[in-house]
Structure formats: C-alpha cells, structure tokens
C-alpha cells in the first residue's frame, strides 16, 4: 500500500500542473495525500476488520471530506442509501491494492477486486480497471516477470500495453477513465528500472498524475519488494497516525 500512497503524494502537486519529464522534485511543499490514499486505507481497513466496503469508504470519506473526490463519489459518501452509479472512472483502480495482498489465489483476488469496485464503479470498465491493477500486483508479488505480467494483462483485459511512455507522453491529456489511465500506469511500471523510476515515468505522462502514479506505484512496490526508505520517511511525515496504524496492522497480518 505504501507504493500506491507514494505515487499519490508525489504526484499530487502535478495534477492540473502537468509536467512532461521525469526530472522533477519528488517532494514539494504542496505534496500531500489525496482521495487515492484515503480510499486505499479504507479498503485495507475493511479487509482488516471484516467490514463491508461501502461502510468503510463512507466512514473514511466523511472523516476526510476535502481529499479531492469526484463530485458523484462525494455525494455517495454522504448518502443515506449509497448505490453504485455505473462509473468507469479510475477511482476503483486507485484504491484496490490491498485486495491483491489479502488473498492467496488470483481467482479470489479478481472476485474481491470486483466487489471493492462495484459498490460505486459497477460499469464494466470500472470493474475491469480494478481487476487489472489487482491482478498486476498479485502477479508481481508472487514472482512473475514483467513479460509474464504484460502478457497476462493484455490477454485477460485486452489493454494495449505495446505502446511506450515516450510515444504516449506528447499527446496524453487528462483522462480519469479506467480505460484511459490504467493501461498507461501499467506501462509505466513495465518500463521502469526501479520503484522511483516507475513513479517518475507515471507522473511524466501528465493527466491525472497522482492517480496514475498511485496505480503504477502499487504494482512497482509489489515487483521491486519495497518502497525506498527515504521515500517512506517522507510519506510518514505526511500521513495521519491512524493511516500508518492501519497500514502496519495490514502488513503484519497479510504480509507478515
């Protein structure tokens, strides 16, 4: 989960202020956690406490109402009768990373990723995006190579992963859809040399920078094995204590 959170925090100053280079300051004064982090922790807490996703997403959303949610999701947070709203946005994929660690087989991960998405993002593309990111993380953490991950994702989800970041970057614009950001995040991971490079590549595309980096970072953490210590230190300075407590409990139970 720290991988997703790192991408979110590092990418946060660049959403709406896109840069088209990998050469940038990792942490700035405006670097902060956003909805990507809040909802990732909410999913982790739901899995830890065996509570339903809806109640935990609403609980965290209401506690952190200014994290930058989309308008429809914001209304959903405060609804007395929350219902899915056919979203194909990347909100389902940015928050799914805990699911890939909580279960020991891919079939269950796929089913659970769908459940975590469908409480809001029950459009087929919204579900597909969450499943693709969860699958990539699961394959990465279970020792699959980049070529195996690429092949499986392409064959299962029909995403075009044959493009390069250098070809994507010049024309890429803001796109919050799963179909317009999940493949790009996966490509950033596939081209990366290490965790930091994955995040830098993801942000350099432009667009929804924090979310693309959160997705790429979540896969990169699983593949490379950890988030570098200097990045982890910066994250923890910017996170509420309760987030760190949930993450550490989650890691102890599911990664211990």
Calculate the dihedral angle through the C-alpha atoms of 195, 24, 230, 65, rounding to the nearest 10 degrees: -90
- Enter the DSSP assignment of 89: B
pLDDT (mean) for 199-214:
97
Residue 56: what are its φ and ψ, rounded to 5°? -75, -40
pLDDT (mean) for 118-128:
98
Is 120:75 a contact under the CB 8 Å cutoff?
Answer: no
Q: Does the pLDDT of residue 42 top 90, yes or no?
A: yes
Characterise 121 by phi-psi region: left (phi > 0), alpha (psi -120 to 50), beta (else). beta
- Mean pLDDT (the chain, rounded): 97
The secondary structure of the chain in percent helix, strand, coil, rounded to multiples of 5, reads 65, 0, 35
The CATH topology of domain 2-254 is: ADP-ribosylglycohydrolase fold (1.10.4080)
Q: What's the pLDDT band for 26 if we cut at 50, 70, 90? A: very high
Give Cα 26 to chain centroid, integer Å.
18
What's the rounded Cα separation, in Å, for the pair 186 and 213? 10
So what's the pLDDT on residue 256?
Answer: 77
So what's the pLDDT on residue 23?
Answer: 97
- Enter the DSSP assignment of 244: H
So what's the pLDDT on residue 186?
Answer: 98
So what's the pLDDT on residue 189?
Answer: 98
Q: What's the pLDDT band for 249 if we cut at 50, 70, 90? A: very high
Of 178, 252, 251, 185, give the one whose Cα is nearest residue 219.
Answer: 185
pLDDT (tens digit per residue) in 53-100:
999 999 999 999 999 999 999 999 999 999 999 999 999 999 999 999
Q: Does the pLDDT of residue 16 top 90, yes or no?
A: no
Tell me the DSSP string of 7-63: HHHHHGGGTTS---SS-S-SS-TT----HHHHHHHHHHHHHHHT--HHHHHHHHHHH
């Amino acid at each position: 989960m720290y991988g997703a959170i790192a991408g979110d925090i590092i990418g946060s100053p660049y959403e709406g202020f896109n840069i088209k280079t990998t050469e940038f300051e990792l942490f700035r004064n405006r670097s902060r956690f956003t909805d990507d982090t809040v909802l990732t922790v909410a999913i982790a807490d739901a899995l830890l406490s065996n509570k339903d996703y809806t109640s935990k997403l609403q609980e965290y959303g209401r506690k952190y109402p200014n994290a930058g949610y989309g308008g429809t999701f914001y209304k959903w947070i405060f609804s007395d009768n929350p219902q899915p709203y056919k979203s194909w946005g990347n909100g389902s994929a940015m928050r799914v990373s805990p699911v890939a660690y909580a279960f020991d087989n891919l079939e269950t991960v796929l089913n659970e990723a769908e459940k975590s998405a469908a409480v809001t993002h029950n459009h087929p593309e919204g579900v597909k995006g969450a499943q693709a990111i969860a699958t990539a993380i699961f394959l990465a953490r279970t020792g699959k190579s980049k070529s195996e991950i690429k092949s499986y994702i392409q064959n299962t989800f029909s995403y075009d992963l044959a493009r390069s970041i250098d070809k994507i970057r010049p024309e890429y614009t803001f796109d919050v859809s799963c179909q317009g950001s999940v493949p790009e995040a996966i490509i950033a991971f596939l081209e990366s040399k290490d965790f930091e490079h994955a995040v830098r590549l993801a942000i350099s595309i432009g667009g929804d920078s924090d979310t693309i980096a959160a997705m790429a970072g979540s896969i990169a953490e699983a593949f490379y094995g950890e988030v570098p210590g200097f990045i982890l230190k910066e994250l923890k300075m910017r996170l509420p204590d309760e987030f760190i407590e949930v993450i550490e409990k989650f890691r102890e139970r599911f990664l211990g």
